[in-house]
Amino acid sequence: MSREDTPRCPVTGATAAQAPEPDGPTGLPLAWPVVGSTVLYAADPPGFVRRVQREHGTVVRLPIIPHNPTVQITDPEGIRRVLQGNADNYARGAYYKAFELFMGNGLLTLDDADWRAHRKVVNPAFTPGAVAARAEETDAAVADLVGRWAEHARAGRPFDLYAESMRLTCRVIGHALVGRDLSQEGEEFAEALSVALEAIFKEVGSLEKMVPSFVPTPYRRRVNRARRTLERVIARASRDADEGIGEVATLIRRSDLPADAFRSDLVTLMLAGVETTALALAWTLYETATHPEVRVRLEEEADRVLGGRLPGAADLDGLTYTGMAVDEALRMHPPVWQFPRQTIEDDVVAGRRVPADTPVLVSVYGAHYNPEQWEDPERYDPERFRPGGTPSRDRNAYVPFGGGRRQCIGKKTGLALLRQTVAAVHGRFRLTVTGGAPRSGAYITLFPKGGIEVTAEERRR
């Protein structure tokens, strides 16, 4: 750890003894007696995050049960301090205990000293060379998606963007992890991933958690069913890995990691890779479908770069505006919208003293809507990400994949798949949202409640 005898703010130079602790929303309606902000936070987490930032600042003490107080950080300098500048002073902490419900002791839940060995084992599967080696399978998956959507278009049949996106990522990421198309596990696999992320969120503190585990509530039954589904998938992956099937699974099987790492790391990568990438794709296509001026520019770029064919890995560098559209959607809808940590010793974050053993929430969502960094943050505008621009914002105001050494290992894989698919869709179709604006839900990820219903119309170039 980059420990200092007297922790100082890297900007103001204030010591922990001199710096004030974060303010908190001490009055109604943001904090109530006994329960503090817990009920209001649970009712609308993203909305609550933005309101706290707007009314109380970028480093705020939140009275949230059961981890009271928790400090929310949306300040870019504070985010840099936690994720990079003094990362050794921040453990996974109390919030991550809930993640162990499904993820065990693996890539996401372990602290740095133990995590490094796991990251080193799986890293070869995410290098540019490894991604390139899987390009043929990715191309086939994107082509199949376009083929299905062409059938929907001819029939005038609406479909769910989120469900279709999950089908794609289950196939592409499934091949990388376990050597097969995980969408063939049926809808119950996608449901298991969603339930797992819901359960992890609720395990921190919810009414369901208060009910004894032996009581068969509908929620408990869904959680148990999800666990059984994932265990079945992992059992098959284990048998296949013994025969060298599945790049990541085989790497783990042949490593010196503990025996439980096989399950923990594979489930972690499924949860952290399959659904998050699907959500990013669904939200991007929703935004482009509802912003005609963006859609037209995407179509023009697809026609110019692709000339009517489907994109491949070699085309991605030429799809500049497509990348900008994806980046802006990730700003507005970051799939993983906050990162928990916990201080080991006192620290000074953006001029505020954060005592030892304090849970911290690095709010990606709040940072992405910080009005000090983003002009009109409610507006979808890909021009914010034009290459070569000179934005006034701090680079840590945009962290959809985290930052520092724990940055998402699948960042390049996910971005490549997103660009390729968005370009393929806009080269062939125009989408219309038919089910109304989706309501955003929030557990570990930001998801569209009830999906995103659209119709597709074949373009005439």
Taking the chain (461 residues) in consecutive chunks of 10 residues, what is each chunk's mean pLDDT? 56 60 54 70 89 92 85 96 96 92 94 96 95 94 98 97 97 96 92 94 69 77 94 97 96 97 97 95 98 98 96 96 98 96 96 94 97 96 89 90 94 96 98 91 93 95 64
CA distance 69 to 94: 12
Strands 359-363 and 429-433: unpaired
Helix axes 320-332, 292-306, angle to 10 degrees: 140
φ, ψ at 159 (rounded to 5°): -150, 165
Give the list of residues 6+ apart from residue 332 with CB closer than 8 angstroms, or none: 283, 287, 368, 380
Q: Which of 6, 1, 37, 31 is nearest to 19 (CA)?
A: 6
CA distance 399 to 373: 13
CB atoms within 10 A of CB 449: 10
Q: Which of 226, 332, 222, 202 is nearest to 279 (CA)?
A: 332
Answer whether 0.95 is exceeded by the pTM: no
CA distance 222 to 228: 10
Give the list of residues 6+ apart from residue 69 with CB closer than 8 angstroms, or none: 24, 61, 62, 63, 358, 359
* Size of the chain in residues: 461
Does the CA dihedral 151-153-155-161 come out positive or negative?
positive
DSSP string, 201-227: HHHHS-HHHHS-TTS--HHHHHHHHHH
Contact 429, 153 (CB under 8 A): yes
CB atoms within 10 A of CB 380: 18
The domain spans of the chain are: 38-458
Listed in sequence order, the DSSP H helices in 314-444 are: 320-332, 364-368, 411-428
Does the CA dihedral 196-201-206-210 come out positive or negative?
positive
Helix (H) or strand (E) holding 457: strand 453-458
DSSP at 82: I
DSSP at 272: I
Q: What single letter denotes the amino acid at residue 234?
A: I
CATH pick for 38-458 out of 1.10.630.10, 3.90.1150.10, 3.40.50.620, 3.40.50.10300: 1.10.630.10
Contact 347, 294 (CB under 8 A): no
CB atoms within 10 A of CB 440: 18
DSSP at 438: P
The alpha carbon of residue 369 and the mean position of all alpha carbons in its chain are separated, in whole angstroms, by 16
Give the list of residues 6+ apart from residue 119 with CB closer than 8 angstroms, or none: 107, 409
- Whether 408 has a binding-site annotation, put simply, is yes
